[in-house]
Amino acid sequence: MAGPRNPAPTVDVAILLPGDRVVLVERRFEPLGWALPGGFVDEGETLEAAAVREAREETGLEVLLLEQFHAYSDPRRDRRRHTITTVFLARAAGEPVGGDDAARAVAFPWQALPAPLAFDHGAILADVRRYLLTGARRRL
């Protein structure tokens, strides 16, 4: 008899680049759209290691994690299954290049983010931007 299916842990990384830009990836697979670099945490891997790995695989950038920003757990955030993502803020140097399951990786100015955004990444990006501008964090 199978037990309950637990949510899957994931990470997402808001990679901040010079020129007031943020890195997004165009997803190669469903659900399509633009997203923060990220993905599933492997067994035996820390959240931080997963964030660095996913950023490197999807953007080619070596990131310096600045802080753990917030966890997002709405069961509807990913239509494939219930996931809980831990979002990190990071810095990097250079320009991103899409890899792994990212068709493209682009550094966008905050004022010119693309559409459509996948998952709940529009809300996450709005939260990150508000925090960067005001220091205000998302309220629980």
pLDDT in tens, 104-131: 999 999 999 999 999 999 999 999 999 9
Within-domain flag for 2: no
Q: Give the integer Cα–Cα distance in Å for 32 and 140.
A: 29
Within-domain flag for 65: yes
Q: Give the integer Cα–Cα distance in Å for 22 and 47.
A: 20
Within-domain flag for 1: no
**Residue 109 burial by Cβ neighbours in a 10 Å radius (0-12, 13-18, 19+):** exposed
Are 8 and 80 a contacting pair, CB within 8 Å?
no
Q: What CATH number is attached to the domain comprising 91?
A: 3.90.79.10
**Residue 117 burial by Cβ neighbours in a 10 Å radius (0-12, 13-18, 19+):** middle
Q: How many domains does the chain contain in total?
A: 1
Provide mean pLDDT across the span 92-99.
Answer: 94
Q: How many helices (H) and strands (E) does the chain have?
A: 2, 7
State the residue range of the domain holding 100. Answer: 8-134
pLDDT in tens, 1-33: 576 789 999 999 999 999 999 999 999 988 899
Amino acid code (one letter) for 73: S
- Copy the structure tokens of residue 7: 């949510």
Peptide bond into 116 cis (omega under 30): yes
